């Protein structure tokens, strides 16, 4: 959303993981293409041909042929037993990893299949899939629990932990980004599971507040379209961005520009340095104190974005970029460019959350050769980035660079199977063939969609086509001057990796001497912040909320699998597609890190996943591990109808009893969660900041689960839970105030229970911190949800939604009438 500019900068990068993801077609289609489905199956089959699993000593089960037959029947496909060629310890075991993969939802299975790309050596982009699979799974490692001392917490001694460790991590991206590769700060740590650490998060009801805070609406309507321009060039756009009379290294003042650009990223006209007082313990006691340090209006505090790297030891000041509405031109931004980098090499302790702790079959993660590599820019980094960026952007060429800086990722649609059939690829390639380059002049800017910290986003049409894109335009000089180049670069690199129905597709990027442009998928439905304002009581129904957060959860899960900690979840960044499904946007504050896929195998004869709450009913239906979860239900509600649900439960129960009598090993669980990633950056939005960020304790992927809890809370209640009268109070509340639910609207127990699990202040005990999205997906709040096919489900009806969808056509009409003269 629009916001005042900030010099908040965060870029942590690690060697890029070039992943190829095979996905089904984009959500909203009437069905999942059969070919893709079988492609996934084939991938999985190939993977298992190359896999080798070893049984943990002492954890063997005598399943016998009867067990195999049962499992085969269950899977309806033959299973292969790994050959004993993998490294590892223990006794060879015929653990069925295939079950785990089949049990995963389609998107997960696709992503899992894509992991084979991890082992692809540089330059062998077209290696055979079977070969890649073997390369990956040759590295399967099985830890012996008994010999390593990693005894399961409940003493069942039947936990097998399998870590899928990629042999190599391709860093093709960094190779092409000169300066970045020189300043990597890598830390590695081996994690050992701490089975004894098991704390119970509060699960009971908490007292409810008597009053519901009323939040002043701050909807930002980005759909207005009153200006338009025909084809443009760098100069006109740059002028537009800067406004006449503006210096070129700064975004324009927020006051209305004479050239008709409104809502453009404003310049903070005041720079102030403040001490990071919330790091001080005394800060925690300052509840209620007037926020004197933050000049922004408290009413806009939820829109303030913090994106600074700062050194707590130095008490560095920081810069706050105000995300306030366009009218907030008077808001103050406090700038700091000080930053630091810390790589946490300590072992990450696996805590248990409220529900998973007591489960006898809970598995611990054993990280083998897991590296926590986080790169954050410090002052010197910023300097480097500046010079780097200057070098990178000082090319006199105005030609396009279509994803050319990254191998394994390009404009070529083949690298993004999920979107490969999108006609917009062909439209862009047609231009390239025709003119040799893609440049700004090939686009007709239709309207401005919004402005952010690092650039402005326009709805743009590729000339001569009806292909529309969201064109993010960034001023190179501004980026360099404000040391935001790395943020822009981080966003671009992450976008280049993505191929997921709930994440944006980057079709191309190009740069000129003055501008850097990203050609992205356009999302016409507006964002959830705006849409929420249009709902009755300014909050979504539980049904709609469940749909949105479920899709966000899948997007976060995918990002984590790619080694991206998102860090900026909030309704403003959740856009709605034309088909009503969501698209998570805005990655410039994301943390990139290494991630190590771990397959958790419990040999406890219990096919149910761990219960997430003490009061939760069986959540087997919502478990993506359950192969029966994959029944076709497209164009149906993604939430299983009750009758079907009952029938399915029965059949599951009978299967469970059958399997139990045969001592069948439960299905393994894939966990790809960058649990060891650590950053000390101060990034995020005040009301969404996790306590560990505020306290500068170092944070990792668990911050995404905190923000996920805040996000869920806000969609349901129309406000965030810790909002104070000012930013300082908000931060204080986040750290020290207990979670309370408003009396209204009435929200179900499971939703509140999920929020409670997510908003645990200690990240180690937070739901999702140990096993990532898999933990959260199993919460009863999502019971009956078909994770695999949610992308094909009919989105909930929500008010105001059609406004967004028709906005572009309105603009088109206006454009035809010549009403726009934006540039
Ligand atoms: N693909 C898209 N389709 C439609 N609108 C978009 C798209 N991407 C961004 N926008 C809109 O453009 C505006 C600016 O987005 P942008 O990501 O540049 O800034 P931001 O969200 O404020 O974050 P940041 O400043 O960190 O970049 C947002 O309000 C968003 O709604």
Which residue's CA is minimally distant from atom 1 of ligand 1? 522
Ligand 1 lined by 459 (C-beta under 6 Å): no
When comparing pLDDT for 252 and 414, which is higher?
A: 414
Ligand 1 lined by 5 (C-beta under 6 Å): no
- Tokens in use for 10? 């965060």
pTM for this structure? 0.55
Distance 527 CA to ligand 1 centre (A): 9
Distance 1 CA to ligand 1 centre (A): 6
| Burial 434-469, CB ≥16 within 10 A → b, else e | eeebbbbbbbbbbbbbbbbbbbbbbbbbbeebebbb
CA distance 331 to 772: 37
Distance 455 CA to ligand 1 centre (A): 9
Say if residue 637's pLDDT is above 70: no
How far is residue 531 CA from its own chain's centroid?
21
CA distance 250 to 262: 16
The predicted structure's pLDDT at residue 799: 85
The predicted structure's pLDDT at residue 69: 38
Ligand 1 lined by 336 (C-beta under 6 Å): no
Ligand 1 lined by 523 (C-beta under 6 Å): yes
Ligand 1 lined by 454 (C-beta under 6 Å): yes
Distance 451 CA to ligand 1 centre (A): 6
- Tokens in use for 577? 């597609």
Cβ proximity of 446 and 458 under 8 Å? yes
Say if residue 736's pLDDT is above 70: yes
**Nearest by Cα to 702 from 722, 681, 735, 676:** 676
Beta bridge partners of 55: 91
Query: Which of 306, 450, 455, 506 to mutate for ligand 1's pocket (most ligand atoms within 8 Å of CB)?
Result: 450
DSSP string, 15-44: S---------SPTTSSS--HHHHHHHHHHH
The predicted structure's pLDDT at residue 800: 81
Which residue's CA is minimally distant from atom 17 of ligand 1? 586
The predicted structure's pLDDT at residue 504: 96
Instruction: Please compute the mean of the pLDDT values over residues 133-155 and round it to a whole number.
Output: 35
Beta bridge partners of 400: 510
Task: Give residue 323's region: left, alpha or beta (phi > 0; psi -120 to 50).
Answer: alpha
- The separation between the first and the last C-alpha atoms of the chain, rounded to the nearest angstrom, is 21
- Return the SS3 of 809: helix
**Nearest by Cα to 181 from 409, 9, 401, 375:** 375
CA distance 274 to 272: 6
The predicted structure's pLDDT at residue 598: 81
Ligand 1 lined by 575 (C-beta under 6 Å): yes
**Nearest by Cα to 489 from 398, 590, 400:** 590
The predicted structure's pLDDT at residue 411: 54
Which residue's CA is minimally distant from atom 29 of ligand 1? 1
- Tokens in use for 16? 């890029």
Q: What are phi and psi for residue 680, nearest 5 degrees?
A: -115, 15
Query: Which of 11, 449, 458, 571 to mutate for ligand 1's pocket (most ligand atoms within 8 Å of CB)?
Result: 449
CA distance 13 to 596: 16
Cβ proximity of 715 and 540 under 8 Å? yes
Report the 10 Å Cβ neighbour count for 128. 11
Instruction: Please compute the mean of the pLDDT values over residues 14-22 and round it to a whole number.
Output: 32
Burial of 484 (0-12, 13-18, 19+ CB in 10 A): buried
Please give the DSSP secondary-structure letter assigned to residue 342: -
How many Cα atoms are found within 13 Å in the side-chain-facing hemisphere of 814?
19
Beta bridge partners of 307: 683
Ligand 1 closest atom vs CA 450:
13
When comparing pLDDT for 552 and 111, which is higher?
A: 552
Ligand 1 closest atom vs CA 451:
14
Asked whether the bond before 745 is cis by omega within 30 degrees of 0, the reply is yes
Torsion of CA 617, 597, 145, 48, to 10 degrees: 90
Instruction: Please compute the mean of the pLDDT values over residues 215-228 and round it to a whole number.
Output: 34
Alpha helices in 587-701 (DSSP H): 642-661, 691-694
Out of 275-279, 384-388, 606-610, least confident range? 384-388
**Nearest by Cα to 686 from 711, 723, 737:** 723
The predicted structure's pLDDT at residue 788: 92
Ligand 1 closest atom vs CA 456:
18
Kind of pairing, strands 468-475 and 582-584?
Answer: unpaired
Query: Which of 6, 254, 452 to mutate for ligand 1's pocket (most ligand atoms within 8 Å of CB)?
Result: 452
* Mean pLDDT comparison of 17-26, 33-42, 114-123, 585-594, highest-scoring range: 585-594
Distance 303 CA to ligand 1 centre (A): 14
**Nearest by Cα to 488 from 584, 374, 373, 392:** 392
Ligand 1 lined by 520 (C-beta under 6 Å): yes
CA distance 52 to 667: 16
**Nearest by Cα to 348 from 53, 673, 7:** 673
Radius of gyration of the chain (CA): 25
Instruction: Please compute the mean of the pLDDT values over residues 388-413 and round it to a whole number.
Output: 34
Question: Could you report the per-residue pLDDT of 528-564, keeping only the tens digit for each?
Answer: 999 999 998 899 999 999 999 999 999 999 999 999 9
Ligand 1 lined by 485 (C-beta under 6 Å): no
Cβ proximity of 18 and 117 under 8 Å? yes
Instruction: Please compute the mean of the pLDDT values over residues 70-85 and round it to a whole number.
Output: 32
Ligand 1 lined by 1 (C-beta under 6 Å): yes
Say if residue 272's pLDDT is above 90: no
Strand order in the sheet with 468-475: 443-451, 456-462, 468-475, 515-521, 506-511
Those residues whose C-beta lies under 8 Å from the C-beta of residue 3, and which sit 6 or more positions away, are 265, 303, 304, 305, 321, 322, 323, 324, 451, 452, 453
Ligand 1 lined by 522 (C-beta under 6 Å): yes
DSSP string, 122-137: TT-TT--HHHHHHHHH
Beta strands (DSSP E) in 435-594 are 443-451, 456-462, 468-475, 506-511, 515-521, 564-565, 574-576, 582-584, 591-592
> Which run of H or E residues covers position 142?
strand 140-143
CA distance 137 to 599: 12
Ligand 1 lined by 449 (C-beta under 6 Å): yes
CA distance 804 to 40: 35
Q: What is the largest CA-CA distance in the chain?
A: 80
Question: Could you report the per-residue pLDDT of 444-462, keeping only the tens digit for each?
Answer: 999 999 998 899 999 999 9
CA distance 22 to 38: 11
Distance 216 CA to ligand 1 centre (A): 22
CA distance 593 to 72: 38
- Return the SS3 of 515: strand
Distance 452 CA to ligand 1 centre (A): 6
Confidence of residue 46 (pLDDT cuts 50, 70, 90): low
The predicted structure's pLDDT at residue 667: 75
- Tokens in use for 329? 């031109």
Distance 572 CA to ligand 1 centre (A): 8
Does residue 658 carry a catalytic annotation? no
Cβ proximity of 230 and 736 under 8 Å? no
Question: Could you report the per-residue pLDDT of 319-348, keeping only the tens digit for each?
Answer: 333 333 333 333 323 322 223 222 232 323
CA distance 153 to 158: 10
Ligand 1 lined by 251 (C-beta under 6 Å): no
How far is residue 77 CA from its own chain's centroid?
33
**Nearest by Cα to 95 from 596, 600, 561, 598:** 600
**Nearest by Cα to 96 from 123, 61, 129:** 61
Of 239, 527, 568, 608, which one is the catalytic site residue? 568
Question: Could you report the per-residue pLDDT of 656-712, keeping only the tens digit for each?
Answer: 554 445 555 667 777 888 877 888 888 788 999 999 999 998 999 999 999 999 999
CA distance 54 to 600: 13
Distance 795 CA to ligand 1 centre (A): 22
Burial of 766 (0-12, 13-18, 19+ CB in 10 A): buried
Distance 449 CA to ligand 1 centre (A): 7
The predicted structure's pLDDT at residue 122: 34
The predicted structure's pLDDT at residue 432: 86
Q: What are phi and psi for residue 409, nearest 5 degrees?
A: -155, 120
Among residues of the chain, what percentage have pLDDT more than 70? 38
Which residue's CA is minimally distant from atom 4 of ligand 1? 523
Ligand 1 lined by 562 (C-beta under 6 Å): no
Which residue's CA is minimally distant from atom 13 of ligand 1? 450
Query: Which of 266, 524, 585, 591 to mutate for ligand 1's pocket (most ligand atoms within 8 Å of CB)?
Result: 585
- Return the SS3 of 472: strand
Question: Could you report the per-residue pLDDT of 469-512, keeping only the tens digit for each?
Answer: 999 999 999 999 999 999 999 999 999 999 999 999 999 999 88
Q: Indicate the average pLDDT of the chain.
A: 58
Cβ proximity of 4 and 266 under 8 Å? yes
The predicted structure's pLDDT at residue 421: 72
Q: What are phi and psi for residue 446, nearest 5 degrees?
A: -95, -45
Distance 573 CA to ligand 1 centre (A): 7
**CA angle at residue 572 from 569 to 575, to 5 degrees?**
95
**Nearest by Cα to 473 from 161, 665, 235, 816:** 235
Torsion of CA 321, 235, 178, 678, to 10 degrees: 20
Kind of pairing, strands 159-164 and 320-321?
Answer: unpaired
């Amino acid at each position: 959303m629009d916001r005042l500019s900030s010099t908040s900068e965060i870029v942590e990068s690690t060697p890029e993981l070039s992943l190829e993801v095979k996905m089904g077609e984009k959500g909203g289609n009437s069905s999942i293409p059969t070919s893709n489905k079988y492609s996934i199956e084939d991938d999985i089959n190939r993977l298992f041909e190359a896999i080798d699993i070893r049984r943990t000593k002492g954890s063997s089960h005598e399943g016998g042929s009867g067990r195999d037959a049962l499992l085969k029947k269950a899977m309806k496909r033959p299973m292969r037993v790994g050959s004993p060629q993998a490294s590892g310890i223990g006794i060879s075991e015929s653990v069925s990893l295939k079950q785990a993969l089949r049990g995963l939802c389609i998107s997960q299975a696709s992503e899992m299949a894509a992991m084979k790309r991890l082992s692809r050596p540089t330059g062998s982009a077209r290696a055979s899939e079977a070969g890649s699979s073997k390369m990956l799974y040759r590295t399967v490692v099985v830890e012996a629990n008994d010999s390593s001392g990693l005894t399961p917490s409940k003493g069942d001694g039947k936990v097998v932990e399998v870590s899928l460790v990629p042999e190599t991590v391709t860093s093709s991206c960094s190779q092409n980004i000169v300066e970045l590769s020189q300043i990597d700060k890598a830390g590695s740590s081996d994690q050992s599971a701490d089975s004894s650490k098991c704390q119970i998060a509060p699960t009971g009801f908490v007292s409810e507040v008597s009053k519901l805070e009323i939040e002043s609406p701050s909807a930002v309507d980005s759909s207005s379209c009153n200006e338009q321009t025909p084809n443009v060039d760098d100069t006109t756009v740059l002028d537009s961005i800067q406004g006449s009379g503006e210096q070129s290294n700064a975004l324009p003042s927020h006051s209305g520009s004479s050239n008709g650009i409104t809502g453009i990223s404003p310049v903070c006209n005041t720079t102030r340095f403040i001490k990071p007082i919330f790091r001080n313990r005394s800060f925690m006691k300052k509840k209620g104190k007037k926020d004197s340090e933050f000049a922004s209006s408290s009413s806009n505090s939820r829109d303030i974005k913090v994106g600074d790297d700062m050194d707590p030891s130095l008490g560095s000041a920081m810069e706050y970029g105000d995300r306030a509405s366009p009218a907030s031109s008077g808001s103050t931004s406090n700038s700091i460019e000080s930053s630091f980098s810390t790589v946490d090499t300590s072992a990450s302790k696996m805590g248990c959350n409220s529900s998973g702790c007591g489960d006898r079959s809970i598995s611990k993660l054993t990280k083998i050769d897991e590296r926590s590599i986080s790169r954050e820019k410090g002052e010197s980094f910023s300097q480097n980035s500046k010079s780097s960026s200057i070098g990178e952007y000082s090319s006199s060429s105005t030609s396009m660079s279509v994803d050319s800086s990254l191998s394994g990722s390009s404009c070529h649609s083949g690298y993004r199977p999920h979107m490969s059939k999108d006609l917009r690829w062909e439209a862009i390639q047609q231009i390239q063939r025709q003119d040799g380059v893609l440049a700004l002049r090939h686009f007709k800017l239709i309207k401005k969609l919004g402005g952010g910290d690092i650039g402005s986003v326009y709805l743009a049409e590729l000339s001569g086509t009806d292909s529309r894109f969201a064109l993010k335009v960034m001023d190179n000089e501004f980026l360099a001057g404000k040391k935001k180049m790395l943020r822009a670069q981080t966003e671009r690199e992450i976008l280049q990796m993505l191929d997921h129905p709930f994440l944006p597709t980057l079709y191309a990027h190009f740069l000129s001497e003055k501008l850097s442009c990203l050609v992205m998928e356009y999302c016409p439905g507006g964002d959830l912040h705006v849409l929420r304002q249009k709902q009755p009581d300014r909050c979504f129904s539980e049904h709609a909320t469940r749909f949105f957060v479920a899709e966000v959860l899948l997007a976060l899960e995918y990002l984590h699998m790619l080694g991206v900690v998102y860090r900026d979840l909030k309704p403003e960044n959740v856009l709605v597609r034309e088909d009503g499904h969501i698209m998570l946007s805005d990655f410039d504050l994301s943390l990139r890190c290494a991630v190590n896929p771990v397959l958790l195998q419990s040999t406890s004869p219990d096919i149910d996943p761990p219960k997430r709450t003490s009061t939760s009913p069986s959540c087997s239906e919502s478990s993506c591990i359950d192969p029966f979860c994959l029944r076709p239900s497209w164009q149906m509600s993604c939430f299983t109808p009750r009758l079907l649900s009952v029938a399915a439960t029965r059949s599951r129960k009978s299967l469970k009893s059958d399997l139990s009598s045969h001592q069948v090993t439960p299905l393994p669980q894939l966990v790809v969660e960058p649990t060891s990633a650590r950053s000390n950056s101060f990034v995020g939005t005040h009301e969404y900041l996790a306590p560990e960020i505020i306290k500068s304790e170092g944070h990792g992927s668990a911050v995404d689960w905190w923000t996920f809890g805040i996000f869920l809370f806000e969609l349901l209640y129309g406000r965030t839970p810790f909002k104070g009268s000012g930013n300082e109070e908000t931060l204080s509340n986040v750290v020290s105030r207990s979670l309370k639910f408003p009396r209204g609207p009435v929200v179900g127990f499971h939703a509140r229970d999920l929020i409670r699990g997510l908003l645990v202040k200690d990240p180690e005990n937070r739901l999702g911190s140990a096993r990532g999205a898999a933990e959260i997906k199993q919460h009863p709040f999502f019971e009956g949800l078909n994770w695999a096919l949610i992308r094909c489900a009919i989105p909930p009806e929500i008010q105001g939604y059609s406004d967004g969808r028709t906005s572009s056509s309105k603009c088109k009409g206006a454009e035809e009438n010549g009403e726009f003269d934006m540039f």
